[in-house]
Amino acid sequence: MTTQRFRPPWWRSRRGQDALTTAAVRLVLSAGAVIILLPFFWMISTSLKQPAEVYLSPPIWIPSPPQFENYVTALTRVRFHIYALNTAIIVSTVMLGTMLSCSFAAYGFARLRAPGRDLIFMLVLATLMLPGAVTLVPTYLMFNAIGWINTFLPLIVPAYFGSAFFIFMLRQFYLTIPVELEEAARIDGAGVYRIWWSIIVPLSRPVLATVAVFTFVGTYNDFFNPLIYLSRDEQRTIAVALSYFSGSPRIGPQMHLMMAAVAASIVPPMVLFLGAQRYFVRGIVLSGIKG
Amino acid sequence: MIESNRAAPPATSPRRRSVRQREALHGYVFMAPAILGLLLFTLGPVIASLALSFTDYGLLTDPEWVGLENYRDMIGEELFWQALRVSTTYSLVSVPLGLVAGLGLAVLLNRRMRGVTLFRSIYYLPTVISGVGVAMLWRWLFNAEFGIINVLLGFIGIEGPAWLTNERWALPALIITSLWGVGSTTLIFLAGLQGIPGELYEAAEMDGAGQLRQFRHITLPLISHVTFFNLVLGIIGALQVFTDAFVITRGGPNHATLFLALYLYNHAFKYLNMGYAAAIAWVMFIIVMLLTLLVFRSSALWVFYEQERQGKNA
């Protein structure tokens, strides 16, 4: 039998179809990426313009020469260094507190048998569903009653009492650590607190890094809490200070300065994201799959 | 040391009980921050908030018990209904759109090809820098005359609306803003997609199922628990939108973007109606609970769990 073997044209072949689909996917994703990146481009472009170039139609896309001194002007006309310092203090202490308290509590939930443990854990998890608005007013009144308004304490102290999602994440990780490790340490005479600090914490460094990056981003971008708890200018965080720029005669009406300030403000989370991407991805993977 | 430990009595003696008690004690110490946090910053305030909602409290005087008056006032308050409408409309549009866009992107980003990690980073980027800065940026992008959105619309011959000062277009503008941040939903979906075993697709292909049927009969059911997770998170998030509304539109124009959270903020911190604000919070809480319950209830119909599959195979 000599049947001529039918050869489809390359675009109908398996490899051809694959290549075509990949090309189509790439095209769609590129179009989407342009939409995602365009606002950033427009922000940078505006931030490098001269005042007279901002309000033009049709617009100038790439200002020439670029006005880099806009950044200097924007960051020195207001006391940006103070806002940055406030933000740094709050973010770093919140990160420390969250990592310590969540890791500590998660170890208890993962390993130590105590009556009612799982019930308490379920309660902690249930708070994830709770809209923050419900606790807002009494929490504010409580901090008001003990004189903590206009201090950083309402922003920092709660971080030392654990946070449901991170406790959950760390607990899931601790459950995967072989018990033998801890048993060996116990035989060597180490107590539970020693075991937690010198075995569990070092082992969970990658997960703690995930907790750290998410806490950084969440705290750095937090607007609501600093807004309601801090009212003096010298206490403002970068997020809150930015929101006042639009009404400030030194910056607000000048869109090029405004955009320079905004661009400067997103540098820290942006750098963190570029440098620690895998930790972000890990956190998302954990949150998605276990949900 | 080691010797003496090995010689310890077997597990049934009273010694064992005390070991257990010690373990429980340590357990509570470890759980203490979480338990205290739960009481101080969650359970306590939730209950206090309910109690406050039955009072008239303006910070400067003592709270005065008024029964259901706050809730009755709310029902008669036109602005409350406006806020409820705004939040509901926003959720009804932005949550499904976010799910569809998120899943669609995830499917594309799940393809094995060069440069795909770069795309993933780009799509995730907006969620990392969300906040006030981004809100200010969007205000500029939506500028009626010189914002880039209307400039681009102008290129294709469409005269864009005065987004943020137009009652009809302010809320859609905020929905567009929210879609820009679809990256986290996308990556959660992506993680779910990567958990689907490849053999399933291979088997389906052998049976002659095309891409669409594979998506419909393999991807959708096997990702339904992730959809569920994203839906619940999306509803809770959408009903609490604050920063965008506060910074981009300030609730305007003419209350067109007065979200529930903004309405609550105004009463708590502008008019110092703490009792009324607590009542608004509880109404929000009840809405979220009802919706979550509804989603949970309905999930039996459309969420497919791994155990079921294993059960069926066995």
| Whether residue A183 is found in the same domain as residue A90 | yes
Contact A223 B132 (CB under 8 A): yes
Among A residues 76-135, those touching chain B with beta carbons less than 8 Å apart? 101, 104-105, 107-109, 112-115, 117, 120, 123-124, 127, 129-135
Residue A248 predicted with pLDDT over 80:
no
**B115 versus A39: which is more confidently predicted?**
A39
Q: Residue A46's domain spans which residues? A: 14-71
| Whether residue A86 is found in the same domain as residue A230 | yes
What's at B159, amino acid-wise?
A: E
The answer to whether residue A104 sits within a structural domain is yes
| Whether residue A21 is found in the same domain as residue A138 | no
* End-to-end CA separation in angstroms for chain B: 50
| Whether residue A104 is found in the same domain as residue A158 | yes
Closest CA relative to residue A268, chosen from A87, A43, A96, A41: A87
The answer to whether residue A269 sits within a structural domain is no
Domain ranges in chain B are 10-52, 69-313
Residue in chain A closest to B36 (alpha carbons) equals A161
Rounded to 5 degrees, what are φ and ψ at B64?
-120, 130
Categorise residue A188: left if φ over 0, alpha if ψ from -120 to 50, beta otherwise: alpha
Q: What is the mean pLDDT of residues A234-253?
A: 81
Contact A224 B243 (CB under 8 A): yes
CB-nearest partner of B33 from A38, A129, A162: A162
Among B residues 119-178, those touching chain A with beta carbons less than 8 Å apart? 119-126, 128-141, 145-146, 148, 151
* Interface residue A221 vs chain B (CB under 8 A): yes
CATH number of domain containing A181: 1.10.3720.10
The answer to whether residue A253 sits within a structural domain is no
Q: What is the mean pLDDT of residues A103-117?
A: 92
**Domain formed by B69-313, architecture:** Orthogonal Bundle (1.10)
Token look-up 């969250």 returns A98
Compute the distance between CA of residue A41 and CA of residue A168 in angstroms, rounded to an integer. Answer: 38
CB-nearest partner of B49 from A105, A134, A221: A134
Q: Are A39 and A62 in contact (CB under 8 A)?
A: no
Residues of B in contact with A187 (CB under 8 A): 2, 5
| Whether residue A116 is found in the same domain as residue A56 | no
CB-nearest partner of B128 from A189, A217, A255: A217
Compute the distance between CA of residue B175 and CA of residue B197 in angstroms, rounded to an integer. Answer: 35
CB-nearest partner of A57 from B146, B247, B285: B146
Give the three-class secondary structure for B20. Answer: helix
Query: What is this structure's pTM?
Result: 0.87
Q: Tell me the average confidence (pLDDT) per consecutive run of 10 residues in chain B, 314 residues long.
A: 43 66 90 93 93 89 88 93 94 95 93 88 88 89 89 88 91 94 89 87 87 89 87 88 89 91 93 93 91 85 65 43
The answer to whether residue A30 sits within a structural domain is yes
Among B residues 59-88, those touching chain A with beta carbons less than 8 Å apart? 59
Closest CA relative to residue B82, chosen from B238, B239, B256, B246: B256
Looking at residue B252, the DSSP 8-state letter turns out to be: -
* 3-state SS, one letter per residue, for chain A: CCCCCCCCCCCCCHHHHHHHHHHHHHHHHHHHHHHHHHHHHHHHHHHCCCHHHHCCCCCCCCCCCCCCHHHHHHHHHCCHHHHHHHHHHHHHHHHHHHHHHHHHHHHHHHHCCCCCHHHHHHHHHHHHHCCCHHHHHHHHHHHHHCCCCCCCHHHHHHHHHCCHHHHHHHHHHHHCCCHHHHHHHHHCCCCHHHHHHHHHHHHCHHHHHHHHHHHHHHHHHCCHHHHHHCCCHHHCCHHHHHHHHCCCCCCCCCHHHHHHHHHHHCHHHHHHHHHCHHHHHHHHHHHHHHC
**A15 versus A178: which is more confidently predicted?**
A178
Residue A29 predicted with pLDDT over 90:
yes
| Whether residue A92 is found in the same domain as residue A140 | yes
HSE-CB of A237 using CA atoms within 13 angstroms: 27
| Whether residue A129 is found in the same domain as residue A112 | yes
The answer to whether residue A265 sits within a structural domain is no
Residues of B in contact with A291 (CB under 8 A): 188, 225-226, 228-229, 233
Residue B312 has which token pair?
């069926």
Residue B234 has which token pair?
């999306």
User: Across all residues in chain A, what is the average pLDDT?
Assistant: 88
* Interface residue B48 vs chain A (CB under 8 A): yes
Compute the distance between CA of residue A96 and CA of residue A90 in angstroms, rounded to an integer. Answer: 10
Contact A112 B24 (CB under 8 A): yes
- Chain centroid to Cα A118, Å, comes to 29
* Interface residue A216 vs chain B (CB under 8 A): no
- Between the alpha carbon of residue B251 and those of residues A224, B164, B245, B263, the distances in Å are 15, 10, 6, 9
Closest CA relative to residue A161, chosen from A102, A95, A93: A102
Distance from CA of B314 to the nearest CA of A (A): 23
Question: Tell me, what's the ipTM?
Answer: 0.85
In sequence order, the β-bridge partners of residue B64 are B56
Distance from CA of A4 to the nearest CA of B (A): 24
Band of the pLDDT at A119, cuts 50, 70, 90? very high
What's at A206, amino acid-wise?
A: P
The answer to whether residue A257 sits within a structural domain is no
Looking at residue B253, the DSSP 8-state letter turns out to be: S
* Interface residue A207 vs chain B (CB under 8 A): no
Contact A280 B46 (CB under 8 A): no
| Whether residue A90 is found in the same domain as residue A201 | yes
The per-residue pLDDT for B309 is 52
Compute the distance between CA of residue B279 and CA of residue B52 in angstroms, rounded to an integer. Answer: 8
Residues of A in contact with B187 (CB under 8 A): 281, 284, 288
Among B residues 212-271, those touching chain A with beta carbons less than 8 Å apart? 225-226, 228-229, 232-233, 236, 239-240, 242-243, 246-247, 260-261, 264-265, 268-269
The answer to whether residue A138 sits within a structural domain is yes
Residue A76 has which token pair?
């020195």
| Whether residue A137 is found in the same domain as residue A179 | yes
Q: What percentage of chain A exceeds 90 in pLDDT?
A: 52
The packing angle between helices A205-221 and A80-111, to 10°, is: 140
Domain count, chain A: 2
Contact B49 A36 (CB under 8 A): no
Q: What is the mean pLDDT of residues A151-180?
A: 92
Characterize B168-190 residue by residue with b for buried, 16 or more Cβ atoms within 10 angstroms of its Cβ, and e for exposed. Answer: ebbbbbbbbbbbbbbbbbbbbbb
The answer to whether residue A26 sits within a structural domain is yes
Q: What percentage of chain A exceeds 70 in pLDDT?
A: 93
| Whether residue A23 is found in the same domain as residue A88 | no
| Whether residue A112 is found in the same domain as residue A241 | yes
Residue A291 predicted with pLDDT over 50:
no
Which helix (H) or strand (E) covers residue B40, if one does? none
CB-nearest partner of B27 from A22, A117, A139: A117
Compute the distance between CA of residue B149 and CA of residue B137 in angstroms, rounded to an integer. Answer: 12
Q: Are B261 and B281 in contact (CB under 8 A)?
A: no
| Whether residue A160 is found in the same domain as residue A65 | no
Residue in chain B closest to A119 (alpha carbons) equals B35
Residue A50 has which token pair?
């001269």
